[in-house]
Homo-oligomer: A and B are copies of this chain.
Amino acid sequence: MTRRAICLLSGGLDSTTCLAIARSEGYECYCLSFDYGQRHKAELESAARVARSLGAKEHRIVEFNLRLFGGSALTDSVEVPKDRAEEEISNGIPITYVPARNTIFLSFALAYAEVTGAENIFIGVNAIDYSGYPDCRPEFIRAFEDLAILATKAGVESGAKISIRAPLMRMAKADIVRKAAELGVDMALTFSCYDPDSQSRPCGRCDACILRRKGFQEAAIADPLLVAY
């Protein structure tokens, strides 16, 4: 029987590599992206290209409006921080943190898993670069796994577990770049920037751009996305 996985996919380097890992393990992948009032749509276009390129079985986009609550530089009209030092990026909870975002994302993934019969949910969270985000930590992932058993029909009826797989959790950005290269991912299709210009070109100065650059540099691989500009 085909094993199925739900793959959360933002179209960034991390979630793309995570999808490639799921594919390399033989999973039939049901990708899930979110249009949640983030400031730009470039990442959704990337997600669609990535899903096609990696042979996803399905790709669904759930729309909802997190701007309704506010509370983040990614959904409000406040400045995205620029030119921060790496130590600054890795410590504390940044203004780009979106309240309860991964909890919401995993909840929708759980609904999708129940409907498709998937036994795994892949999420590209990473505790190295995003140590300041509460919902990127291994404790959070384990707690969601515990919740999933109690929250689903399959869990209640047969004790079936839905595993939350976070294969990038302990990887540095350079390891992620190497893994993506090893799996043949077309990294030109991925998009990381929090604050692209009107032509969807990365700013090069936000936390996501800084971490991405550092990852490619340390892996000694050229970023094909930047070659395009």
Query: Considering only CB atoms, which chain B residue lies closest to A66 in the complex?
Result: B111
Q: Are B99 and A153 in contact (CB under 8 A)?
A: yes
Q: In whole Å, how far is A32's beta carbon from the nearest beta carbon of chain B?
A: 9
Q: Are A100 and B110 in contact (CB under 8 A)?
A: yes
| A87 interface contact, C-beta 8 A | no
Number of copies: 2
Given contact pairs A108-B104, A143-B147, A64 touches B62 in the complex (Cβ within 8 A): yes
Give complex CA distance A160, B172 in Å.
30
Q: In whole Å, how far is A62's beta carbon from the nearest beta carbon of chain B?
A: 6
Of residues A60, A104, A146, which shows the largest number of chain B Cβ atoms within 10 Å of its Cβ? A104
Give complex CA distance A151, B60 in Å.
25
Given A93-B157, A106-B107, A134-B151, 5 more contacts at CB 8 Å?
A60-B68, A100-B108, A134-B153, A143-B143, A143-B151
> Contact residues of A with B, CB < 8 Å?
60, 62-66, 68-71, 93, 97-104, 106-108, 110-112, 114-115, 134-135, 137, 139-140, 143-144, 146-147, 150-153, 155-157
